[in-house]
Structure 1
Protein backbone atom coordinates (compact mmCIF):
# COMPACT_ATOMS: atom_id res chain seq x y z
CA UNK A 1 0.00 0.00 0.00
CA UNK A 2 1.31 3.42 -0.95
CA UNK A 3 1.41 6.15 1.69
CA UNK A 4 1.24 9.73 0.43
CA UNK A 5 2.82 12.45 2.55
CA UNK A 6 3.27 16.16 1.97
CA UNK A 7 6.37 18.09 2.99
CA UNK A 8 7.17 21.76 2.62
CA UNK A 9 10.81 22.20 1.71
CA UNK A 10 13.65 21.71 -0.72
CA UNK A 11 13.44 18.49 -2.75
CA UNK A 12 17.23 18.39 -3.08
CA UNK A 13 17.45 17.91 0.72
CA UNK A 14 15.15 14.88 0.77
CA UNK A 15 16.29 11.37 1.61
CA UNK A 16 14.49 8.92 -0.69
CA UNK A 17 15.32 6.02 -2.99
CA UNK A 18 14.38 8.23 -5.94
CA UNK A 19 13.89 11.96 -6.38
CA UNK A 20 11.80 13.06 -9.34
CA UNK A 21 13.10 15.92 -11.44
CA UNK A 22 10.68 18.21 -13.26
CA UNK A 23 13.06 18.28 -16.22
CA UNK A 24 12.98 19.98 -19.56
CA UNK A 25 13.13 17.78 -22.64
CA UNK A 26 16.86 18.44 -23.18
CA UNK A 27 17.68 16.65 -19.89
CA UNK A 28 20.64 19.04 -19.60
CA UNK A 29 19.47 21.14 -16.67
CA UNK A 30 17.44 24.30 -16.51
CA UNK A 31 15.77 26.52 -13.95
CA UNK A 32 13.61 25.76 -10.93
CA UNK A 33 13.62 22.19 -9.63
CA UNK A 34 15.62 21.00 -12.65
CA UNK A 35 18.47 23.44 -12.06
CA UNK A 36 18.48 22.82 -8.31
CA UNK A 37 18.75 19.04 -8.75
CA UNK A 38 21.56 19.35 -11.29
CA UNK A 39 23.48 21.86 -9.12
CA UNK A 40 23.17 19.95 -5.86
CA UNK A 41 23.50 16.50 -7.43
CA UNK A 42 26.71 17.41 -9.21
CA UNK A 43 28.25 16.52 -12.57
CA UNK A 44 27.43 12.79 -12.50
CA UNK A 45 23.75 13.52 -13.22
CA UNK A 46 24.58 15.73 -16.20
CA UNK A 47 27.04 13.14 -17.53
CA UNK A 48 24.36 10.44 -17.54
CA UNK A 49 21.83 12.84 -19.08
CA UNK A 50 24.29 13.61 -21.87
CA UNK A 51 24.74 9.88 -22.47
CA UNK A 52 20.96 9.45 -22.69
CA UNK A 53 20.78 12.28 -25.24
CA UNK A 54 23.57 10.65 -27.25
CA UNK A 55 21.77 7.30 -27.31
CA UNK A 56 18.02 6.83 -26.76
CA UNK A 57 16.85 10.44 -26.53
CA UNK A 58 18.62 12.31 -29.33
CA UNK A 59 15.63 14.61 -29.77
CA UNK A 60 15.04 14.91 -26.03
CA UNK A 61 12.75 13.17 -23.57
CA UNK A 62 9.12 13.44 -24.69
CA UNK A 63 6.53 15.09 -22.46
CA UNK A 64 4.92 12.65 -20.03
CA UNK A 65 7.73 10.09 -20.16
CA UNK A 66 10.37 9.35 -17.52
CA UNK A 67 13.93 8.06 -17.36
CA UNK A 68 16.37 7.49 -14.49
CA UNK A 69 19.96 8.49 -13.82
CA UNK A 70 22.24 8.38 -10.84
CA UNK A 71 21.42 10.82 -8.05
CA UNK A 72 25.03 11.95 -7.84
CA UNK A 73 25.57 13.76 -4.55
CA UNK A 74 21.88 13.84 -3.57
CA UNK A 75 20.72 11.68 -0.66
CA UNK A 76 19.03 9.22 -3.01
CA UNK A 77 19.96 6.35 -5.30
CA UNK A 78 18.35 7.72 -8.44
CA UNK A 79 16.91 10.80 -10.06
CA UNK A 80 13.88 10.09 -12.22
CA UNK A 81 13.58 12.80 -14.87
CA UNK A 82 10.15 13.54 -16.31
CA UNK A 83 9.04 16.31 -18.65
CA UNK A 84 5.83 18.01 -17.66
CA UNK A 85 3.55 19.72 -20.12
CA UNK A 86 3.62 23.48 -20.63
CA UNK A 87 0.12 24.59 -19.64
CA UNK A 88 -0.60 26.98 -22.51
CA UNK A 89 1.22 24.96 -25.19
CA UNK A 90 -0.25 21.54 -24.40
CA UNK A 91 -3.86 22.51 -24.67
CA UNK A 92 -4.03 21.99 -20.92
CA UNK A 93 -4.32 18.21 -21.29
CA UNK A 94 -4.28 16.80 -17.74
CA UNK A 95 -3.54 13.33 -19.17
CA UNK A 96 -0.04 14.52 -20.07
CA UNK A 97 0.55 15.77 -16.54
CA UNK A 98 -0.82 12.57 -15.00
CA UNK A 99 1.45 10.58 -17.31
CA UNK A 100 4.49 12.20 -15.67
CA UNK A 101 3.53 10.72 -12.30
CA UNK A 102 2.53 7.31 -13.66
CA UNK A 103 5.67 7.00 -15.80
CA UNK A 104 7.88 8.03 -12.87
CA UNK A 105 6.29 5.38 -10.65
CA UNK A 106 6.80 2.75 -13.38
CA UNK A 107 10.48 3.67 -13.58
CA UNK A 108 10.69 3.57 -9.77
CA UNK A 109 9.20 0.06 -9.82
CA UNK A 110 11.73 -1.05 -12.45
CA UNK A 111 14.53 0.26 -10.23
CA UNK A 112 13.13 -1.33 -7.07
CA UNK A 113 12.65 2.05 -5.37
CA UNK A 114 10.33 2.01 -2.35
CA UNK A 115 10.36 5.75 -1.60
CA UNK A 116 9.91 8.53 -4.14
CA UNK A 117 9.94 12.31 -3.67
CA UNK A 118 7.96 14.33 -6.23
CA UNK A 119 7.90 18.07 -6.87
CA UNK A 120 4.75 19.81 -8.12
CA UNK A 121 5.46 19.09 -11.78
CA UNK A 122 4.68 21.83 -14.33
CA UNK A 123 3.59 24.40 -11.72
CA UNK A 124 6.60 26.70 -12.06
CA UNK A 125 7.64 28.27 -15.35
CA UNK A 126 5.44 25.76 -17.21
CA UNK A 127 2.44 27.59 -15.76
CA UNK A 128 0.07 24.79 -14.71
CA UNK A 129 -2.46 26.16 -12.16
CA UNK A 130 -1.48 24.81 -8.75
CA UNK A 131 -4.92 23.61 -7.64
CA UNK A 132 -5.48 21.63 -10.84
CA UNK A 133 -1.93 20.26 -10.80
CA UNK A 134 -2.40 19.05 -7.21
CA UNK A 135 -5.66 17.31 -8.09
CA UNK A 136 -4.11 15.61 -11.14
CA UNK A 137 -0.94 14.61 -9.27
CA UNK A 138 -2.66 13.12 -6.24
CA UNK A 139 -5.21 11.25 -8.36
CA UNK A 140 -2.51 9.85 -10.65
CA UNK A 141 -0.47 8.55 -7.72
CA UNK A 142 -3.51 7.06 -5.95
CA UNK A 143 -4.68 5.30 -9.12
CA UNK A 144 -1.30 3.90 -10.18
CA UNK A 145 -0.57 0.30 -9.26
CA UNK A 146 2.94 0.49 -7.83
CA UNK A 147 5.28 -1.22 -5.38
CA UNK A 148 6.45 2.18 -4.13
CA UNK A 149 5.50 2.37 -0.46
CA UNK A 150 6.27 6.03 0.32
CA UNK A 151 5.32 8.81 -2.09
CA UNK A 152 6.30 12.22 -0.81
CA UNK A 153 5.23 15.45 -2.45
CA UNK A 154 7.87 18.04 -1.62
CA UNK A 155 6.30 21.48 -2.02
CA UNK A 156 8.66 24.42 -2.15
CA UNK A 157 6.54 27.04 -0.43
CA UNK A 158 3.64 27.36 1.99
CA UNK A 159 1.08 28.14 -0.73
CA UNK A 160 1.89 24.99 -2.68
CA UNK A 161 1.80 22.93 0.51
CA UNK A 162 -1.60 24.34 1.47
CA UNK A 163 -3.06 23.72 -1.99
CA UNK A 164 -1.84 20.09 -2.05
CA UNK A 165 -3.07 19.58 1.54
CA UNK A 166 -6.55 20.83 0.58
CA UNK A 167 -6.64 18.40 -2.38
CA UNK A 168 -5.31 15.50 -0.27
CA UNK A 169 -8.26 15.45 2.17
Structure 2
Protein backbone atom coordinates (compact mmCIF):
# COMPACT_ATOMS: atom_id res chain seq x y z
CA UNK A 1 0.00 0.00 0.00
CA UNK A 2 1.41 3.37 -0.96
CA UNK A 3 1.83 6.22 1.51
CA UNK A 4 -0.67 8.26 -0.49
CA UNK A 5 -3.43 5.71 0.23
CA UNK A 6 -2.50 5.63 3.92
CA UNK A 7 -2.80 9.42 4.13
CA UNK A 8 -6.18 9.31 2.32
CA UNK A 9 -7.41 6.68 4.76
CA UNK A 10 -6.19 8.49 7.89
CA UNK A 11 -7.71 11.79 6.75
CA UNK A 12 -10.98 10.03 5.95
CA UNK A 13 -11.08 8.36 9.38
CA UNK A 14 -10.43 11.72 11.06
CA UNK A 15 -13.17 13.39 9.03
CA UNK A 16 -15.54 10.52 9.86
CA UNK A 17 -14.93 11.01 13.60
CA UNK A 18 -15.47 14.73 13.22
CA UNK A 19 -18.71 14.20 11.31
CA UNK A 20 -19.95 11.74 13.93
CA UNK A 21 -19.57 14.32 16.67
CA UNK A 22 -20.43 17.53 14.81
CA UNK A 23 -23.19 16.87 12.26
CA UNK A 24 -22.47 19.98 10.18
CA UNK A 25 -19.34 18.17 8.92
CA UNK A 26 -21.11 15.77 6.58
CA UNK A 27 -19.26 12.62 5.50
CA UNK A 28 -21.46 12.15 2.46
CA UNK A 29 -20.48 15.59 1.14
CA UNK A 30 -16.81 14.84 1.87
CA UNK A 31 -17.04 11.58 -0.09
CA UNK A 32 -18.77 13.25 -3.04
CA UNK A 33 -16.21 16.08 -3.07
CA UNK A 34 -13.31 13.63 -2.93
CA UNK A 35 -14.65 11.80 -5.96
CA UNK A 36 -15.59 14.88 -7.96
CA UNK A 37 -12.18 16.40 -7.23
CA UNK A 38 -10.48 13.10 -7.97
CA UNK A 39 -8.12 13.44 -5.00
CA UNK A 40 -8.95 10.18 -3.21
CA UNK A 41 -9.70 6.56 -4.04
CA UNK A 42 -13.26 5.36 -3.56
CA UNK A 43 -12.47 2.58 -1.11
CA UNK A 44 -10.07 4.45 1.17
CA UNK A 45 -12.44 7.41 1.44
CA UNK A 46 -15.60 5.37 2.01
CA UNK A 47 -14.16 2.83 4.44
CA UNK A 48 -12.17 5.50 6.28
CA UNK A 49 -15.22 7.72 6.80
CA UNK A 50 -17.31 4.72 7.86
CA UNK A 51 -14.69 3.63 10.38
CA UNK A 52 -14.36 7.17 11.72
CA UNK A 53 -18.12 7.56 12.10
CA UNK A 54 -18.34 4.22 13.88
CA UNK A 55 -15.60 5.21 16.31
CA UNK A 56 -17.18 8.61 16.91
CA UNK A 57 -20.73 7.32 17.41
CA UNK A 58 -19.64 4.46 19.69
CA UNK A 59 -17.50 6.90 21.68
CA UNK A 60 -20.48 9.21 22.00
CA UNK A 61 -22.62 6.35 23.33
CA UNK A 62 -19.96 5.49 25.92
CA UNK A 63 -19.54 9.14 26.94
CA UNK A 64 -23.28 9.71 27.33
CA UNK A 65 -23.70 6.50 29.32
CA UNK A 66 -20.98 7.62 31.70
CA UNK A 67 -22.93 10.77 32.39
CA UNK A 68 -20.99 13.26 30.32
CA UNK A 69 -23.33 16.22 29.92
CA UNK A 70 -22.80 17.46 26.42
CA UNK A 71 -24.91 20.58 25.94
CA UNK A 72 -24.14 20.46 22.22
CA UNK A 73 -26.20 17.30 21.84
CA UNK A 74 -29.41 18.68 23.29
CA UNK A 75 -32.00 19.41 20.71
CA UNK A 76 -33.43 22.92 20.72
CA UNK A 77 -36.32 24.14 18.66
CA UNK A 78 -37.41 27.72 19.08
CA UNK A 79 -39.82 27.61 16.19
CA UNK A 80 -42.77 25.27 15.76
CA UNK A 81 -42.49 22.46 13.25
CA UNK A 82 -43.98 22.94 9.83
CA UNK A 83 -46.91 20.69 9.01
CA UNK A 84 -45.59 17.54 7.39
CA UNK A 85 -46.96 16.07 4.20
CA UNK A 86 -48.10 12.49 3.79
CA UNK A 87 -44.66 11.14 2.88
CA UNK A 88 -42.87 12.83 5.80
CA UNK A 89 -45.59 11.73 8.20
CA UNK A 90 -45.26 8.13 7.01
CA UNK A 91 -41.46 8.16 7.30
CA UNK A 92 -41.67 9.75 10.75
CA UNK A 93 -44.09 7.00 11.82
CA UNK A 94 -41.67 4.28 10.62
CA UNK A 95 -38.80 6.01 12.37
CA UNK A 96 -40.70 6.22 15.65
CA UNK A 97 -41.69 2.54 15.48
CA UNK A 98 -38.12 1.51 14.73
CA UNK A 99 -36.78 3.65 17.59
CA UNK A 100 -39.19 1.76 19.82
CA UNK A 101 -37.54 -1.52 18.78
CA UNK A 102 -34.04 -0.41 19.79
CA UNK A 103 -34.36 -1.83 23.29
CA UNK A 104 -35.32 -5.30 22.06
CA UNK A 105 -32.34 -7.61 21.84
CA UNK A 106 -33.35 -9.22 18.55
CA UNK A 107 -34.23 -6.01 16.67
CA UNK A 108 -31.93 -3.35 18.12
CA UNK A 109 -28.89 -4.19 15.99
CA UNK A 110 -31.06 -4.43 12.86
CA UNK A 111 -32.49 -0.97 13.54
CA UNK A 112 -28.98 0.47 14.01
CA UNK A 113 -27.79 -1.18 10.78
CA UNK A 114 -30.77 0.14 8.80
CA UNK A 115 -30.29 3.57 10.30
CA UNK A 116 -26.64 3.60 9.26
CA UNK A 117 -27.34 2.23 5.79
CA UNK A 118 -30.58 3.92 4.69
CA UNK A 119 -31.17 6.78 7.18
CA UNK A 120 -34.47 5.44 8.55
CA UNK A 121 -34.54 6.26 11.37
CA UNK A 122 -31.82 8.92 11.28
CA UNK A 123 -28.56 7.80 12.92
CA UNK A 124 -28.23 10.81 15.23
CA UNK A 125 -31.41 10.12 17.26
CA UNK A 126 -30.65 6.39 17.16
CA UNK A 127 -27.25 7.09 18.72
CA UNK A 128 -28.85 9.12 21.50
CA UNK A 129 -31.57 6.49 22.04
CA UNK A 130 -29.07 3.61 22.23
CA UNK A 131 -27.64 5.15 25.40
CA UNK A 132 -30.88 4.16 27.18
CA UNK A 133 -30.65 0.51 26.06
CA UNK A 134 -28.43 -2.38 27.08
CA UNK A 135 -26.85 -2.66 23.63
CA UNK A 136 -23.08 -2.89 23.82
CA UNK A 137 -21.18 0.06 22.39
CA UNK A 138 -19.01 -2.42 20.47
CA UNK A 139 -22.05 -4.10 18.88
CA UNK A 140 -23.54 -0.68 18.14
CA UNK A 141 -20.26 0.43 16.54
CA UNK A 142 -20.04 -2.73 14.44
CA UNK A 143 -23.60 -2.29 13.14
CA UNK A 144 -22.86 1.35 12.29
CA UNK A 145 -19.62 0.34 10.57
CA UNK A 146 -21.28 -2.29 8.39
CA UNK A 147 -24.19 -0.03 7.41
CA UNK A 148 -21.99 2.99 6.73
CA UNK A 149 -19.44 0.99 4.70
CA UNK A 150 -22.22 -0.20 2.39
CA UNK A 151 -23.74 3.27 2.10
CA UNK A 152 -20.46 5.13 1.65
CA UNK A 153 -19.11 2.66 -0.91
CA UNK A 154 -22.32 3.06 -2.92
CA UNK A 155 -21.97 6.86 -2.78
CA UNK A 156 -18.24 6.84 -3.65
CA UNK A 157 -18.46 4.42 -6.55
CA UNK A 158 -21.70 5.97 -7.81
CA UNK A 159 -20.25 9.47 -7.93
CA UNK A 160 -16.99 8.19 -9.36
CA UNK A 161 -18.86 6.41 -12.15
CA UNK A 162 -20.81 9.57 -12.97
CA UNK A 163 -17.78 11.86 -12.94
CA UNK A 164 -15.11 9.72 -14.61
- TM-score grouping bracket, smaller chain normalisation: 0.3 to 0.5
Q: TM-score, structure 2 length as denominator?
A: 0.40
Q: TM-score, structure 1 length as denominator?
A: 0.39
State which structure, 1 or 2, has the greater radius of gyration over its C-alpha atoms: 2
